[in-house]
Amino acid sequence: MAISLDDPKKFKPLVAQAHQLAMNALRPISRKYDRAEHTYPKELDMLAAMIDGVSESGAAGGAGAAGVRRDEKPDTQDDGGTRNGTNLASVMSIAEMCWGDVALLLSLPRQGLGNSAIASVADDEQLERFAGVWAAMAITEPSVGSDSAGIRTTAVLDGDEYVLNGEKIYVTSGDRADHVVVWATLDRELGRAAIKSFVVPKGTPGMRVDRLEHKLGIRASDTATIIFEDCRVPKENLLGSPEVDTKQGFAGAMATFDNTRPLVAAMAAGCSRAALDLTRELLEDAGVVVDYDRPAQVQSAAAARFLQLEAEWEGAWLLTLQAAWLADNRKPNSLEASMAKAKFGRVGSAITLGCVELAGTIGYSEAELLEKWARDSKILDIFEGTQQIQQLIVARRVLGLSSAQLK
């Protein structure tokens, strides 16, 4: 059976539209909001409304904050074969938007990482109830980074409500979003299996934004610390089943990551692709032409280095497409999602820094956006699970070992 590595034809209009939005709406204001940290980009309101309209019309092919729902059957074509769906559309469109600006993409209303959590874990009633919200995702704590199983924020059932207590840090869009998906444990003694996610509306008593962070990159995106003190939420806001299944363990929570990690890889794809495109133009202006029909070793050092960076990008992109395609067809993709995130997290930073080097003084100055992309790309190797955690997950999957066996 032949395998086509071309972009699916049905997504080409979506990708082209996303590229136009990135070029005409995001790229022109990129530097402005990098400098004006914590200032909300009001230009995004109209852009978000346009994206909502396209999504509702069905023209986007389902692109957006989609979820990995393992309990459903694969989408199939009339001929019985599998097809490219929402997850693949999402990674392709997100990559194009991040070609414009990663931080502005992260700041788009109703496209938060919490929306992907809702799409992955919520039941049908919750999907309908929370449709249209803008949800941030609160996982990280002062003493808990990538090891989400160590979460100490608690949720105690009291009548018809859960009472949340704890502190969450580095919450992307934590101040701007109208809802926050909070990860908390029902019972610390039961470990990973007791961790659940709760949808908390902004303004709920007992929930407050404590501070906003000043950051190396993605400055247009707000990153908040949120405190929960006897914060009461309806028990219906616990996503999915409230039952603690020690056999299933962390599977419900991991379904969220199976979805969001390819999306983060796609963000790295867009940011590093932008750096490659600009660097090729700058090299050509300097008289260095990259010839794709000649071996790298017979070209200039700069051209050879550029070809190496492009090869790294292509490999990471194929991993990302694979992870998304598996999700669309309801196939297990935890290994592939972590591989894509690990690969693009690492090479995305390597590519943007490599482009800064190739561009010399132009790359290091604010004359171009190369230095900004180098700063922005680093977070994509950190959030949603660091490089080291992804490698650990991949090793466990490949070797068939549990988290207790391989730490």
Residues noted as catalytic: 384
What is the sign, positive or negative, of the torsion defined by CA atoms of 326, 64, 67, 257?
Answer: positive
How far apart CA 279 and CA 19 sit, in angstroms, is 18
**What distances in angstroms separate CA 118 from CA 126, 161, 166, 337, 354, one per listed residue?**
8, 19, 21, 18, 37
- Residue 335's Cβ-count burial label (10 Å; 0-12, 13-18, 19+) is middle
Q: Which of 138, 67, 66, 65 is nearest to 108 (CA)?
A: 65
Question: Is the distance from CB of 140 to CB of 223 less than 8 angstroms?
Answer: no
Question: Is the distance from CB of 111 to CB of 176 less than 8 angstroms?
Answer: no
Question: Is the distance from CB of 63 to CB of 93 less than 8 angstroms?
Answer: yes
How far apart CA 402 and CA 131 sit, in angstroms, is 36
**3-state SS, residue 153:** coil
Question: Is the distance from CB of 208 to CB of 168 less than 8 angstroms?
Answer: no
β-pairing verdict for 179-185 and 135-138: parallel
Cβ neighbours of 384 (radius 10 Å): 27
β-pairing verdict for 223-234 and 179-185: unpaired
Residue 136 belongs to what H/E stretch? strand 135-138
Backbone angles phi, psi at 166, to 5 degrees: 155, -175
How far apart CA 42 and CA 83 sit, in angstroms, is 37
| Direct distance between the N- and C-terminal alpha carbons of the chain, in angstroms, rounded to an integer | 40
Q: What tokens does 193 get?
A: 């299996």
Residue 349 belongs to what H/E stretch? helix 334-359
Q: Which of 88, 125, 76 is nearest to 11 (CA)?
A: 88
